[in-house]
Amino acid sequence: MSKFPEVETAKALMTEAMTWSVMKWLREKKRVRTTADLANAALDLLSETTKARWSHGLRAAYGELGSQIDGSASGTQRKQLSRAIDSDAQLTVKKVKEADDEAYRARMDAEETFDEAERQLSTSLAREGCRKAIHGWELHEKAIRKAEAAIHSLRG
């Protein structure tokens, strides 16, 4: 996985922003949000395109995990999918799904921290939001690397 300029730009901005005053935050918050949104969009797109390269079996196994969580597939459909998907594929996509979920939780935590920082006009919370955003992008990159590795490790 190559580095994305949007993510690198966002990480650099967040690192710089950890030193800003309240007034600087007020002036720059729109740019921070826009830059973070671009980084998130780039990582989301890479994740989607990576998973689109998965075999049918891997995509089905990942889809099964989602349906177990949201209940969209019936019990019969899940049993049919389970028989069609080998245990190696199930284990591989489970690890990817766990990494995706961890990255998503980190992203939401960062966004909530930024929202609270804005409500309170708190630079300490904004700095914490920066740290959390960077951490979330690193987790998302890690999840994408796992998804890429799945392409090469399994052919099912």
Would the pLDDT of 81 be above 90?
A: no
Length in residues, the chain: 156
pTM for the model stands at 0.85
Would the pLDDT of 80 be above 90?
A: no
Strands (E), 29-84: none
Asked if 62 and 96 touch (Cβ cutoff 8 Å), the reply is yes
Residue 107 CB neighbour total at 10 angstroms: 21
User: Any idea which residue has 């998302």 for tokens?
Assistant: 140
Q: How far apart are CA 92 and CA 64, in angstroms?
A: 13
Instruction: Give me the pLDDT at residue 71, please.
Output: 47
Query: Which are the contacts of 77, defined by CB distance < 8 A and separation ≥ 6?
Result: 67
Query: Which are the contacts of 12, defined by CB distance < 8 A and separation ≥ 6?
Result: none
The pLDDT of 127-134, averaged and rounded, is: 97
Q: Determine the Cα angle at 128 with ends 43 and 46, to 5°.
A: 5
Query: What is the residue-averaged pLDDT of the chain?
Result: 87
Would the pLDDT of 107 be above 90?
A: yes
